[in-house]
Amino acid sequence: MLFLKPNKIGKGYGKAIINSLIKDFDITTVDVNKDNKNATKFYINNGFFIVSETETDASGR
């Protein structure tokens, strides 16, 4: 998960961070709450795609 302060959204920080994580740490998957439309759109726009959905998040909620 990636969290940014609201005043940093839309300025390229998220894209820079995710690109660095992909390059430096070979990150290929993320968990995203499907109800979080902004996050879903962000990850799709950065090359990720939905492969599955679960009823709970990674912490079991």
The confidence score (pLDDT) of residue 33 equals 85
Asked if the structure places residue 59 within a domain, the reply is no
Asked if the structure places residue 38 within a domain, the reply is yes
Asked if the structure places residue 57 within a domain, the reply is no
The confidence score (pLDDT) of residue 58 equals 67
CA distance 33 to 40: 8
The confidence score (pLDDT) of residue 9 equals 92
**Domain span at residue 30?**
12-45
Locate 46 and state its tokens. 């950065």
Asked if the structure places residue 36 within a domain, the reply is yes
Is the separation of the CB atoms in 26 and 18 below 8 Å? no
Q: What is the pLDDT along the chain (61 residues), one digit of tens a residue?
A: 789 999 999 999 999 999 999 999 999 999 888 888 999 999 999 999 999 887 776 677 6
**Owner of token pair 């005043």:** 7
Backbone angles phi, psi at 24, to 5 degrees: -85, -25
Give the pTM.
Answer: 0.78
Cβ-based neighbour number of residue 27 at 10 Å: 13
